[in-house]
Structure 1
């Protein structure tokens, strides 16, 4: 960027830059973000009749992510490419100098504490040195493809130093047992050289047998050669596995390595942590903090258990009575509002051995711990919850789990605490990182602390994401954003929490621990509206009545004047980020939308007194005000109902029966399961352009992007669609079918779980064979936990004890 800055300063545009800086100085804001900067520049160009895109200055502004005004100087934060940042100070006389990360963080602190500047140095957190000795990806476009890179790296090591790595592979194969029964190789093979020889001998042996001959019929002969169960269930499967190993030994490459490691039977017991509770199979989706995460984890648990069973059978372990087990770990809530969240153990429907295990919080104050606790208040209980959960898990599994998967910040922190104690592979899934959802949440954390406790949230994120062996994200941009926007994980790279600490390097974005593995859709509950043979007519009629005509003031607000209009439909919890009130306002401001559609919302509670969440209460009041302000009575139905997955699936399909559309108006959406649910049902979908939907939807092909902050533009896009439908009656069907095709090709749980288990095995192999010493990193992380996180959590606990 330095060259581009000097090119501007050495050109005729230097005077334009000076004028633009004057425009910036006239802004009341001391801190301008990219949108602010582009708006100021657009106004500047209009005012001075400048051509924006083609100038050097225009190019410079395009790469500018932030501008901070500091007395007489301006600080420009540039993002020349994804996952990189450069910072320069521009003085009044237009001299330029590069500034360090430390100086940038000090400047941000001064912006917040201009009247009470920080005295002395602040704690600096730098995770960079711990990644110096690990492989890192070079090209930003390969971020999120960590396992592909790791496979290339490992296979190159096998090729460069075959003796050392073959010894590692040999020792790794000797590790595996199930309930004390040896798998893969036994003591008849004593060296890696012997392994290579015996593999060729065994291949010759099984090649002479009928391909479908069951493993048990030649098991004894293989054991004499040194091979125990785990290679396959038939002669052809055993041969395939041994041939892949033989190829790996002779000429290693990334595909062969992944194909082989993915076959190794090494994962039988999995914990999925969804800590903050309100986790069940019926009646729990209406509570803020839960909805999408509960759906995700339940579906993941079902398909993981099924995949583990399939893998065990394919590996030839059926006669060993292998019983894979998946446990969803959550908290037990005694006052469970009529749900099963007060039951210790609940079997997951449709599975043989997947369970919800609920562990109660210690009763520091029963008024708190016997009730649901918001995710923003949950932090003081996580350490003791993890300690108590460890005992419960060891009892349920009759041993240690093989893999621990954390969900959301609190679940990821519990996963870290458990994995650290049990020495088990840890995987993180963020679902959403709150830091990027709330503007300037780290800068002004002190002002928000009583409500959100961001100091604990962001510290827990740093701990868990750096401790994890691997991280799953639903989209690429969740990690590093787009050319125009910073990713959620990227926002942890460098930031300050004034008066608490500076993060100089919070996460290595180029680490191979990041992998993009999108979730799927529960295809039993969500399927195309055209599959009439799979729909239950009585359910359809009941949902139809509920959506359009049922008079039930306890759960439904609003009676439609004309129920035959197309439905404009959305379903989400009522909070600021999900922005259901923004959609209602968009509808209220557009007479054309009201002419073509009825607005139907399934969202949270109907009454303030029924909600225990501050943000939901605010949104309830706001929604009623919008209905009143725009006189929407007769044009809107607001349903405060709890739906099972089967019912919500039929809701989408009934909306599709009426050729409606689905709108997801979130201000930011990490991924968007409701988008997949709507699309697979056959609904044309309009979704926020901020976040994951950019990767799900192909704009104007199988759905549409909207900017939920621009209400007029959003309304125009929906109106343009419906007018096209009126001109071409088949247009709705075309978009509907494209949406269905998109989900089936890319977003199924089968694809997800196959990839997740492959990752777990490969990272397990990497951790066993790599020479990187994680202990120093984990000690650093523990220091952060005990010196920053724990005392702050304890302070909240003391407050909770007196509520």
Structure 2
């Protein structure tokens, strides 16, 4: 990038840079992000009557394109440039246009000064740097392979271990000797005493099973294999046992990383799983639409069902049914005594549609009953998590009669609890962020002190740093969740370096090229969400009831707004009422477009109808704003606002009823980490318009199976919807074409079967390498514990003291 800056300075564009900087400084000190920078540069080009190519193709235009941030102070201009994905460079441009590269430490000082938190002794602030702990781990070189961590790790460590055949065979022998379930030894027994004997016995067993009928059940020759040293776990039929032993035989003699992954994916290693989801109302009925619930609750419940089903299938294929082995999945959540009509005050609740999956709710300890007895916002939950983890460990050990095999954390608070549990029980753990607040709230780290009373970001961002660095591996739903795209920063990437003035500087917060990152998108519950065309699976009575609710029901307790013409094409959305979900933005977009109002009705399902019924401040603000917009644009007769909590089955059917009316689904979020509602709408058959900011960018192939919108550009969003409607008028089959392509997209890529197969494979492979490589993580974990006890815990305790006073 220094060369590009020099090219600007060495040509006539030098004066353009000077004038552009002068134009920016006219408003005084400013901190500009990429959208603002591009907007201001476009204005500069227009004001200066530059030719069309200048904005995109000039040296200065290219420099501006790569610039993510500009910080202006009285004397200098600071450019933070992102030359490529996951890389950043910073430069200081002085008034005489002298350019100097600056270090991350200097940049963080500049950011501090910008928010008037300049400290006389620069550098007199705690610096957090995780980079040294990744220096001894394999690192991915090419950014396009970020998110494919297990493939890289398996290939790298396999080649390293395979170089020493004796060490490889000994590691494999020891690993196979470990496995047992319910006190019963699996895979190999004491008759095989060494790696050499393992190799000999595998060949002997192969000869034995090869002479048997392919479909002969394992039980009929079980004892013969035991005499050879092989216990249950190799397969349920002669052919399955033979296939598994053949893979092992090949691995012993001619090892390769692909064979190792195939072998580990067959090994019965995981039977007991914990999914941690602490905050919010976690239940199966009556919780969706409440504050802090939504996609995450749906995700975890669907994941639990799918994991149990996959484990049952794996156990059957491994031949363990005869041992009466049953998997168990526990969703660890919070027990809320004042349950507000939900089942969140029940300690144990079976997950619908499962044999042995449960919601285990553990209460917070009694501090201030106003908090520990009631729901607490995700921003206020932090003081209770350490004692919660201690109590949850006891409950989990009792439920499992031992420790789990695998722990999955969800969201920032659940990820922290997953770390604490994993540390105490020495269990492989992964984390799923779902959404990182730091990306959702601009400048949230820079102005954390002003936002602390409401959001407590200092605690949350510290918890994020702890969890993401402690995890054995990280699951993301999309690639860009990790490192964004060429013109935008990823959620995890935003933790690479940042400042929290007067608290600490993060010099290296996470190694983006670490093989711990894996992209494993979630799926859709196909029992609930399925195409509108599957009429045989739909219940006519439910269709009629929801039809009335959506279009004609006159019940002020559930619905606001009556439609003058219910036959107009519905624009439909469903989301929580918070600023990021941006239903108010969609309403304003609709209000500003007379053409949309002529052709469509706007219908959405969203939270409460009245501020007095809500306990969430952000929801209250959005409710007030919605009523104001409806009045301001006179949308009465054109809009329906359903303030209802839909049961799970109704939430699936409501998409299909909209599809019956040839409707459109619009997801207008300012940022969406993934976008489960987009999958739900697409699989139901609704042509879908989704935000271009976040996960939908990878789900929707624009103008192929859906449409991407910029929800901050209301006019452009309206125009894209109108273009779609125009094409539908010209070609009556166009709605069907997009509908069918959307369904095909989901079925080919986003199913829970694909997700859970991959997740369990990852857990086995990372578990194997954690054991065989003997990776020394204790130094990293001790560093993380220092962060927990010296920063997180004191600040959480301070918040608890505030709670006790309220």
Q: Deviations over 1:732-759 (max 9, x none)?
A: 0000000000000000000000000000
Match of 1:186 in 2: 189
CA contact (8 A) 1:549 1:563 kept: yes
Match of 1:101 in 2: 104
| Aligned-residue offset at 1:687 | 0.6
Match of 1:5 in 2: 5
Q: Deviations over 1:682-704 (max 9, x none)?
A: 00000100000000000001100
Match of 1:494 in 2: 497
Q: Deviations over 1:284-341 (max 9, x none)?
A: 0011211111000000000101111110110010111101000000010011111110
Q: Within the alignment, does 1:649 sit opposite 2:652 as a pair?
A: yes
Question: Structure 1 residues 153, 102: CA separation in 2 closer, same or farther (over 3 Å shift)?
Answer: same
| Aligned-residue offset at 1:120 | 6.0
Mapping of 1:293-692 within 5 angstroms?
293-692=296-695
| Aligned-residue offset at 1:157 | 1.8
| Aligned-residue offset at 1:29 | 5.0
Q: Take 1:115 and 1:16, find their aligned partners in 2: how far apart are those partners?
A: 32
Q: Within the alignment, does 1:79 sit opposite 2:85 as a pair?
A: no
SS at match of 1:295: helix
Question: Structure 1 residues 189, 602: CA separation in 2 closer, same or farther (over 3 Å shift)?
Answer: same
Q: Within the alignment, does 1:271 sit opposite 2:278 as a pair?
A: no
Match of 1:725 in 2: 728
Q: Deviations over 1:436-469 (max 9, x none)?
A: 0000000000000000000000000000000000
CA contact (8 A) 1:118 1:499 kept: no
CA contact (8 A) 2:611 2:620 kept: yes
Q: Take 2:56 and 2:614, find their aligned partners in 1: how far apart are those partners?
A: 49
Q: Take 2:486 and 2:323, find their aligned partners in 1: how far apart are those partners?
A: 52
| Aligned-residue offset at 1:15 | 2.2
Q: Within the alignment, does 1:41 sit opposite 2:41 as a pair?
A: yes
Q: Take 2:174 and 2:29, find their aligned partners in 1: how far apart are those partners?
A: 61
| Aligned-residue offset at 1:30 | 1.6
Match of 1:752 in 2: 755
| Aligned-residue offset at 1:16 | 2.2
Q: Take 1:220 and 1:658, find their aligned partners in 2: how far apart are those partners?
A: 63
Q: Take 2:589 and 2:392, find their aligned partners in 1: how far apart are those partners?
A: 46
Query: Aligned pair count?
Result: 803
| Aligned-residue offset at 1:28 | 4.1
| Aligned-residue offset at 1:209 | 0.6
CA contact (8 A) 2:412 2:464 kept: yes
Q: Deviations over 1:402-431 (max 9, x none)?
A: 001000000000000000000000110001
| Aligned-residue offset at 1:256 | 0.9
CA contact (8 A) 1:133 1:772 kept: no
Match of 1:767 in 2: 770
Q: Take 2:238 and 2:377, find their aligned partners in 1: how far apart are those partners?
A: 54
| Aligned-residue offset at 1:191 | 1.4
Q: Take 2:345 and 2:25, find their aligned partners in 1: how far apart are those partners?
A: 58
CA contact (8 A) 1:157 1:165 kept: no
| Aligned-residue offset at 1:277 | 3.9
Q: Take 1:81 and 1:251, find their aligned partners in 2: how far apart are those partners?
A: 39
CA contact (8 A) 2:409 2:432 kept: yes
| Aligned-residue offset at 1:71 | 2.5
Q: Take 1:416 and 1:771, find their aligned partners in 2: how far apart are those partners?
A: 19
SS at match of 2:193: coil
Q: Take 1:255 and 1:653, find their aligned partners in 2: how far apart are those partners?
A: 42
Q: Within the alignment, does 1:203 sit opposite 2:206 as a pair?
A: yes
| Aligned-residue offset at 1:166 | 2.0
Q: Take 1:40 and 1:179, find their aligned partners in 2: how far apart are those partners?
A: 66
SS at match of 1:66: strand
Q: Take 2:72 and 2:174, find their aligned partners in 1: how far apart are those partners?
A: 59
SS at match of 2:360: strand
Q: Deviations over 1:78-106 (max 9, x none)?
A: 10110001111111111121111110000
Q: Take 1:340 and 1:459, find their aligned partners in 2: how far apart are those partners?
A: 32
After TM superposition, the score normalised by the length of structure 1 is 0.99
CA contact (8 A) 2:280 2:291 kept: no
CA contact (8 A) 2:215 2:237 kept: yes
| Aligned-residue offset at 1:252 | 2.1
SS at match of 1:22: helix
Q: Take 2:696 and 2:763, find their aligned partners in 1: how far apart are those partners?
A: 27
| Aligned-residue offset at 1:115 | 7.0
Q: Within the alignment, does 1:693 sit opposite 2:701 as a pair?
A: no
Q: Take 2:36 and 2:184, find their aligned partners in 1: how far apart are those partners?
A: 64
Q: Take 1:29 and 1:736, find their aligned partners in 2: how far apart are those partners?
A: 49
Indicate the larger mover: 469-478 or 199-208: 199-208
In the alignment, structure 1 segments of 5+ residues that lack a partner are none
Q: Take 1:290 and 1:770, find their aligned partners in 2: how far apart are those partners?
A: 40
Q: Take 1:212 and 1:41, find their aligned partners in 2: how far apart are those partners?
A: 71
Indicate the larger mover: 594-603 or 59-68: 59-68
SS at match of 2:375: coil
Mapping of 1:230-269 within 5 angstroms?
230-269=233-272
Question: Structure 1 residues 115, 211: CA separation in 2 closer, same or farther (over 3 Å shift)?
Answer: closer
Indicate the larger mover: 137-146 or 160-169: 160-169
Mapping of 1:120-131 within 5 angstroms?
121-131=124-134
Q: Deviations over 1:609-657 (max 9, x none)?
A: 0000000000000000011111111111100111112101110000000
Indicate the larger mover: 709-718 or 9-18: 9-18
SS at match of 1:52: helix
Indicate the larger mover: 285-294 or 15-24: 15-24
Q: Within the alignment, does 1:20 sit opposite 2:20 as a pair?
A: yes
| Aligned-residue offset at 1:119 | 6.4
After TM superposition, the score normalised by the length of structure 2 is 0.99
In the alignment, structure 2 segments of 5+ residues that lack a partner are none
Indicate the larger mover: 758-767 or 183-192: 183-192
Match of 1:284 in 2: 287
